[in-house]
Amino acid sequence: MSRTGSLPPFTSRMSRAETVAALVYLPIHLLLLPRLVMDGTGGKLDAIQLNFVCYTVGALYMLFAQRRFLRRDFDPLCDRPGAVLREILICYGLMLACNLLMSGLFALIGALLADGGGPSFSAGNPNNNAIIGWAGKSYGTTAAMAVFLVPVVEELMFRAGVFGLLRRYNRALAYAAGILLFSAYHVWGFALSDPLLWLYLLQYIPASWLLCRCYERTNSIWGSIFLHMFINFMSLRALSMLQEFL
| Domain total in the chain | 1
- The more confident residue out of 5 and 64 is 64
pTM: 0.94
**pLDDT recorded at residue 7:** 61
* Of 36-40, 133-137, 241-245, minimum mean pLDDT range: 241-245
**For range 152-171, the mean pLDDT:** 98
Query: Is the model's pLDDT at 2 over the cut of 50?
Result: no
Residue 27 lies in a domain: no
Residue 193 lies in a domain: yes
Cβ-in-10-Å burial (0-12, 13-18, 19+) of 178 comes to buried
- Report the distance separating Cα 103 and Cα 62, nearest Å: 34
What is the band of 75 on the pLDDT scale with cuts at 50, 70, 90? very high
- Report the distance separating Cα 14 and Cα 19, nearest Å: 6
Length of the chain: 246
Residue 4 lies in a domain: no
Residue 146 lies in a domain: yes
Residue 202 lies in a domain: yes
Residue 93 lies in a domain: yes
Contact partners, residue 144, CB within 8 Å, separation at least 6: 52
**pLDDT recorded at residue 110:** 85
How confident is the model over 77-122, as pLDDT tens digits? 999 999 999 999 999 999 999 999 999 999 898 888 876 556 667 7
How confident is the model over 189-246, as pLDDT tens digits? 999 999 999 999 999 999 999 999 999 999 999 999 999 999 999 999 887 776 666 5
Residue 72 lies in a domain: no
- Report the distance separating Cα 52 and Cα 236, nearest Å: 16
- The mean predicted confidence, pLDDT, of the chain is 92
Residue 24 lies in a domain: no
Range of the domain at 130: 81-245
Helices 47-65 + 16-27 axis angle, to 10:
170
